[in-house]
Amino acid sequence: MRPRKGVAVGLLAVMLLVGGTIAFAEKEAAKEPDPYQNLGLSADQRSKLDKVTNERKTAMTASQQKIVGIRQKLVSLLFDKKAKDQEIDKLTDQLATADREALLAQIRFHKAMRQILTQEQLAALNKGVK
């Protein structure tokens, strides 16, 4: 009985840590300077980048809220002895799907950015990221 409780507590701690890390990263990202400021963007490029950036933020916020909700339900089931394994497995699958959707939103953003920026601007942005 004790080892299961320890595993559940460990899982809960990891889930909370990841959630806290995501929230901290978002707050830090809000403080960072504009990553596009030294790219010599045209007004059209800036407008398009702002649009896809806002779409990305909206998608990521929705994904994060969905993931947090699923995690909360999952933790609740993990600490409920009456919960069925099938319920836990179902939520685990939902969590994996939500994580995948968040990743795909990120990929869509980067693909859109590739269509907006020149190769030189992409290279300069990549140097700034590393």
When comparing pLDDT for 22 and 72, which is higher?
A: 72
Q: Is the pLDDT of residue 17 over 80?
A: no
Closest to 93 (Cα-Cα) out of 73, 65, 64: 73
The answer regarding whether domain 2-129 maps to CATH 1.10.10 reads: no
Kindly report the pTM of this predicted structure: 0.66
Q: Is the pLDDT of residue 25 over 60?
A: no
Q: Check whether 21 has a pLDDT greater than 80.
A: no
45 pLDDT band, cuts 50/70/90, is very high
On whether the CB atoms of residues 109 and 50 are closer than 8 A, the answer is: no
The token pair at 59 is 């998608």
Residue 1 pLDDT grade (very low, low, confident, very high; cuts 50, 70, 90): very low
pLDDT bucket at 50, cuts 50 / 70 / 90: very high
Task: Name the pLDDT band for 34 (thresholds 50, 70, 90).
Answer: confident
* Among 100, 99, 76, residue whose Cα is nearest residue 88: 76
Nearest in space to 114 (alpha carbons), one of 52, 54, 62: 52
